[in-house]
Structure 1
Amino acid sequence: MENGGGKPVHIPNHPILRSEKLLKYILESSVYPREPEPLRELRNATDNHPLHFIAASPDVGQLIALLLKLLSAKKTIEVGVFTGYSLLLTALNIPDDGKIIAMDPARNFYELGLPFIKKAGVEHKIDFLESPAMPVLDKLLEDPANEGSFDFAFVDADKDNYWNYHERLMKLVRIGGIIAYDNTLWGGSVAMPEEEVPEQKREWRKHAIAFNKAIAEDSRVELAFASIGDGLSICRRLR
């Protein structure tokens, strides 16, 4: 394999680098020991849900918590909530007078996590809207005061709309702020030949590949594509 300059790129192929054992080591050595108790309780409750696999990965959560602290984030957006692991994590890492505008069309999932959010004493920071994201983002943009007023946004929702969300969030998040997109590796399928990808994953794989290409070419952001969880694309707004 070659890099952009035509020089060969060395890709380690030791089995442990691609194994579940490595993830287990990362979680047990560095993530779980530092995971706040409310998050641990919510994660364990979510693990019993049939769709538990769509929740944000705890190692992704640890990175987001660090980003929030580095940004001194106070006002954030969350597109896609599920049971609220990343939402609770954000609420725990912004000031007491901070605010999260969170949106998801499925309130029943959010209500599974709500008791843990209430127990942690951070419900007052959350403005949950039972709605698809696009109408909410468009409504926010109707008020000029919202432009450039958010410090951070986390997107874990329908992959076919990632670019639509990006265009709106680029107006809402301040210069120097961060927008993070989850699942941009889509189970590793973005690097696989299409014929090797299970049919039910192919459509969103195409959307993930298209988004990854578009974001890599977006000169408005500084980009880090992190191979963590199911892939996290971290965009820092430059202009």
Structure 2
Amino acid sequence: MPETKNPQLTPELYAYVLDHNPPLDPVQEELVEITRARFGTAAAMQSAREQGPLLAFLVRLTGARQVVEVGTFTGFSALSMAQALPADGRLIACDISEEWTAVAREAWAKAGVADRVDLRIAPALDTLRALPREPWIDLVYLDADKGGYVDYWEELVPRMRPGGIIAADNTLFHGRVVDPRPTGDTAGIRAFNDRVASDGRVEALLLTVADGLTLARRL
């Protein structure tokens, strides 16, 4: 059995990591706190604090101008990516909740990036299927219903430009991906991980970032 080199992520070590990453700006901090205060346990759906700077880094690293997000919630990840986009960049944000995304809209406006975000309230699969089919997407962040990941993947990969990146969140799913008899969302993530690993259209890594983050590059 391979041995991990990952240290136990204690609160003190996590604080150290955050202290040595780019800090969240005031609008991001406020959004994190509003989400926690208004939505209780549902706030756990918000991407981890360190993922905001990571997503912004990926936007700049890839020179992304066309971004798609599947699963927006209260808009923290979209805000992070939109802030890193050039002025003519666009982010299509897919969600089904007017309530959650109303918070997102306020934050995007406050940060001055609302004009870069095209929010589409509809089942994400419908939105993706209506997008142009030629390769044009530079970056995707996938963080939605886990049972839908494989279907989203099949719509997204053909639309990725060569070198484009798909970042998929929760791909360790609280460590339950190793359960011998996975069900529900765990089974959905297991199926997704197997699909990505076997897909010759991409090269991919599953990283132990937050709850597991898969990065796949379109070949």
TM above 0.5: yes
Residue matched to 2:27: 38
What residue in structure 1 maps to residue 196 of structure 2? Answer: 215
Query: In the TM superposition, what is the alpha-carbon distance from 1:30 to its structure 2 partner?
Result: 2.2
SS at 1:228 equivalent: coil
Determine the structure 1 residue equivalent to 2:53.
Answer: 62
Q: Which 10-residue stretch deviates more, 81-90 or 35-44?
A: 35-44
Match of 1:158 in 2: 145
1:178-189 equivalences in 2 (<5 Å): 178-189=165-176
Say whether the 8 Å CA contact 1:60–1:232 is kept in structure 2: no
AA at the equivalent of 2:205: A
Is residue 4 of structure 2 the alignment partner of residue 11 of structure 1?
Answer: yes
**1:11 Cα deviation from its structure 2 partner:** 2.6
| 1:224 Cα deviation after fit | 1.5
- Aligned pair count reads 217
Q: CA RMSD in A?
A: 1.7
Q: Distance in 1 between matches of 2:198 and 2:10?
A: 31
Deviation of 1:96 after TM superposition, in Å, equals: 0.9
| AA at the equivalent of 2:144 | A
1:190 CA displacement:
1.2
Cross-structure match for 1:78: 69
Partner of 2:100: 109
C-alpha distance in structure 2 between counterparts of 1:96 and 1:153, whole Å:
18
Given the superposition, is the C-alpha separation of residues 12 and 72 from structure 1 closer, same or farther in structure 2, using an over 3 Å criterion?
A: closer
- Pairs within 5 Å for 1:80-229: 80-141=71-132, 144=133, 147-194=134-181, 202-229=183-210
Larger Rg: 1
Structure 2: unaligned runs, 5 residues or longer: none
Moved over 4 A (4+): none
Equivalent residue letter for 1:157? A
C-alpha distance in 2 between matches for 1:20 and 1:214:
34
Deviation at 1:193, TM superposition (A): 4.7
Percent identical among aligned pairs is: 35
Give the 3 Å change call, closer, same or farther, for CA 26–76 of structure 1 in structure 2: same
Q: Which amino acid aligns with 2:88?
A: D
**Deviations 1:12-47, CA, capped at 9 Å, x for gaps:** 48xx524344323312x223x522222111112112
